[in-house]
Amino acid sequence: MTSLPLILRTEHPGDAEAIERLHARAFGPGRFARTAYRLREGATPLTDLCFTALVGTYLVGSVRLGPAEAQGPLLVLGPLTVDPSFEGRGIGGALMRASLDAARAAGHGLVVLVGDAPYYRRFGFSPVPPGRLIPPGPVDPARFLWCELVPGAAETVAGNVSAVRTR
């Protein structure tokens, strides 16, 4: 693994354009139709829980957490994005740990996402039990994951998951 002079920091308002370019490079135009995107649609990410990774001044990674609800509050993670030319260097893992640690420290109880279970398992994610939470579109049940940041938090939510709409 090559050592990089990596800087992790909370997302700044001026990062939005670079993050959007990163998302376009990593996920392409089809990202807007995916359930993972629809799960977050309309919610403003919580800036104190969103992190970026930079090599020098070049933004190479981003993770966002936003508010959602399912008969109770929860967070939706995503997207976790690493520039394709910087993949495999631990940047995604560093961003995940920073974001989840910040959410835990802020008292949030539960995070959901749509993603690759083998990758996210190492951060404490597991599949949502069938029928427990319902995403806003079709998703492979093995890819609809949750992580309790506070023991018992999963017992406080059920039903349709929707982003908390912000102005």
Predicted TM-score (pTM) of this structure: 0.89
pLDDT at residue number 96:
97
Whole-number Å distance between alpha carbons of 142 and 126: 9
Give pLDDT, residue 18.
82
Is the domain covering 6-163 a CATH 3.40.630.30 domain? Answer: yes
Determine the Cα–Cα distance for residues 108 and 114; give it in Å rounded to an integer. Answer: 19
Residues in the chain: 167
**According to the model, what pLDDT value does residue 4 have?**
62
pLDDT at 2: 54
Domain locations in the chain?
A: 6-163
Indicate the pairing of strand 133-134 with strand 159-160.
parallel
In order along its 167 residues, the chain shows pLDDT tens digits of 456 688 999 999 898 888 888 877 766 665 544 666 677 787 889 999 999 999 988 899 999 999 999 999 999 998 899 998 898 999 999 999 999 999 999 999 999 999 999 999 999 999 999 999 999 888 999 999 999 999 999 999 999 999 998 65
pLDDT, residue 104, reads 98
Residue type, 129: P
In angstroms, rounded to a whole number, what is the distance separating the alpha carbons of residues 100 and 116? 17
What proportions of the chain, in percent to the nearest 5, are helix, strand and coil? 35, 30, 35
Burial of 102 per CB tally in 10 Å (0-12, 13-18, 19+): middle
Residue-level pLDDT at 32:
47
